[in-house]
Structure 1
C-alpha cells in the first residue's frame, strides 16, 4: 500500500527536533533576543548559534539555488543528511517550499518521514545529521543556502539513502 504524506504548517515548535525556523518579524514586535542597531531603526536577531559549519575543518559556504516548482503528488525516493554541519534554506522572495525531514540517526523508514510547508517567507536551519529530501519548491524561486564546505581533500559530507517504500508527498 502506498504511503501518502501531507505536509503540516511549519512552526518553530513542530520543527524543533529537526532544526530552527527562520522567519521575518514586524519591527513593532521584535522577538526575544533581538537588539536594536542603526540608531534604533533596525532590529537584529542573531541566529549564529544555530549554524554549525566548522566541524572537521569545514568552512561556511553560501550559494543561491534556483528551483522549479514541483508537481504533486511527488514521489520521495531518497533522503540525505550532513553529519558534520547544518544546512540552511532561505527563500529570496515569496516562494513556498516543503521541508521533508526525518530524525537524525539510522537510515529513515517511510514511517519516520515528516513534511512541513512554509508560508513563502520562512526558511529553515537543519540540525547536523537531520535526514532530509532535496529542495521541494511549491512555487519556482531562488533560495540562499548556507552550508558547510568540506576541508580541501576531504570527502563531501553527504550521506544518501533510498527511501523504501516510496513516499508520495501530497498537497491538499
Structure 2
C-alpha cells in the first residue's frame, strides 16, 4: 500500500480521517479496549506477590472448529498520511492486538455487517499501553503501527480461512496522529 507524500497526491479525492484517542466507551461498538486497571483493583495471587486482572472474558475463537492461536507480529512504523484503501473482517472469531512495550498504533474500524464505505470508518489512536480485542465481524484495517515493535496477537486458527477483504470505492486518507 502506498504511504507518505505519494499517498496524498494519489488519493486527492479521499475522505479525511483523523484518529481520536482510544477510550473503552468510544470503542465499545467495535470490541474491547485492553488496558491495565489501576493497581490494587486486581485479585491477589501467588501468595500476594502478583495482582491478576481478567481483561477479556470471552475471546470467541471456537466457532466452526476454531482454536486460540497466539502469534507475534513485528510491525514497522507506518508513514502518515496513510491511504486506507481496503478493510477486512473475521466473522468467526475475535482478534486481539497487544503491544509488547510502549507502542502506539492506530485502529481503523467500521461496524460489523455489510461492507463499509469510507464515511463509516472511525480511527482510534492508542496511548502506547493499550491493546484491543476486535469483536467478530468488525471491519478493520491491518495493523497500523505508529511506533515500530512487537505485538502479541490472539486470533482464531482453523482449516477454514476467516478473512473477508473489501476494497473501498473511495479511499480514506488517515492523517498523522496528533
User: When the two structures are superposed, what TM-score results if normalisation uses the length of structure 1?
Assistant: 0.92
Q: How far apart are the structure 1 equivalents of 2:24 and 2:100?
A: 20
Match of 1:119 in 2: 127
Q: Which region of structure 1 is more displaced relative to structure 2, 34-43 or 76-85?
A: 34-43
Of the three residues 155, 169, 172, the one matched with 2:174 is: 169
Tell me the distance in 2 between the aligned counterparts of 1:137 and 1:3. 21
Runs of 4+ in 1 over 3 A off after TM superposition: none
Which segments of 5 or more consecutive residues in structure 2 lack a partner in the other structure? Answer: 1-12
Sort the Cα spacing of 1:116 and 1:48 in 2 relative to 1 into closer, same or farther, 3 A: closer
The count of aligned residue pairs is 165
State the 1:51 CA deviation: 0.6
Please list the CA deviations of residues 18-56 of structure 1 after superposition, one character each: whole Å capped at 9, or x if unmatched: 01001123323x2xxx32212222221223423111000
Counterpart of 1:138?
146
Normalising by the residue count of structure 2, what TM-score does the alignment of the two structures yield?
0.89
Per-residue CA shift, 1:52-95, capped at 9, x if unaligned? 11000001100000000000000001100000000000000111
Q: Which runs of 5+ in 1 are unaligned?
A: none
* 1:78 correspondence with 2:90: no
Is the CA contact (8 Å cut-off) linking 1:50 and 1:125 kept in structure 2?
Answer: no
Distance 1:50 1:124 in 2: 13
